[in-house]
Amino acid sequence: MSEETPIIWMRPEKPARGPAPTYSRRQIAATAIKIADEDGLEALSMRRIAAELDTGAMTLYRYLPTKEDLYTVMLDEAYGEIEHRPPTGDVREDLRVLAHARRALLLRHRWLMAVALGRQIFGPNMARSNEKYLALVDGHGLGIDDMFAVLALVQRWVTGFVQDEIAAAEGARRSGLDLEGWQRRTAPYVVQLLETGEFPYLARVVDEAEHRSLDVQFEEGLAMVLDGVEARLKLCSPKE
């Protein structure tokens, strides 16, 4: 009943009484991020972090009561890396830059989307980012709800794009294969599908696809998204 632990961000970093802490939440988060970046999310264990910091696993629990809290601080720490530019007045261009920054972040920390999923992130860094994001779409006649909707549209599309972008590579990595070996494993199945003749579009993909670079695909998809955004903006400011 009375045992409800407060959210991680409300726990004081410095103790009132005892010896000074040797580590810090941010330091632990940074170590965890390094491990996840280098060896993948499945390599991230409390013991591994502790080993990296040359201490015992249970030490970490003085800073983060559960692994769930570790994820929380990792997320916020990573989101803190996004650099923000002040709004230029050109919403379309500002959102385009934001989209590219987000894609770079998600590619730099490939574990990020998996950890972010199903969690709502509202640490200090994320809260600060939110302010900067909203500033980009403010002043164009949109209410706060629509401002959110517009930003969410862009962010969600970027997230989805990067998910697809890294899905194959991640599948290969998880199974311990290189990309070539992984494709060698899946190719026969695709052939088998094609031979049934029931997948005409799949066949078209195989021999019509232009294999545009991911950068090009990103830019083109983003253009579509921003067209949707601009359509919405024009609805709210018919002037000029």
Q: Which member of 122, 142, 195, 238 binds its own copies (CB under 8 A)? A: 122
Give alpha helix (H) positions in the chain: 25-39, 46-52, 67-79, 91-108, 112-116, 124-137, 144-174, 179-196, 200-208, 214-236
**Closest distance of CB 207 from its own copies, Å:** 9
Give the pair of three-digit tokens for residue 199: 């997948």
**Closest distance of CB 190 from DNA, Å:** 24
Q: Which member of 57, 179, 193, 236 binds DNA (CB under 7 A)? A: 57
**Closest distance of CB 18 from DNA, Å:** 3
Residues from 61 through 80 that contact DNA (CB under 7 A): 61-63, 65-68
18 binds DNA (CB under 7 A): yes
1 binds its own copies (CB under 8 A): no
Are the CB atoms for 173 and 40 separated by under 8 Å? yes
Give the pair of three-digit tokens for residue 228: 């949707």
**Closest distance of CB 11 from its own copies, Å:** 10
Residues from 144 through 163 that contact its own copies (CB under 8 A): 144-145, 148-150, 152-153, 155-157, 159-161, 163
* Tokens 């517009």, located at residue: 150
Give the pair of three-digit tokens for residue 165: 């972008």
Which amino acid is located at 87 in the chain? P
Q: Which member of 26, 92, 128, 140 binds its own copies (CB under 8 A)? A: 128
Q: How far apart are alpha carbons 163 and 156 in whole angstroms? A: 10
Are the CB atoms for 86 and 135 separated by under 8 Å? yes
Q: Which member of 7, 27, 39, 47 binds DNA (CB under 7 A)? A: 47
Query: What is the contact surface with DNA in residues (CB under 7 A)?
Result: 15-23, 43-48, 55-59, 61-63, 65-68
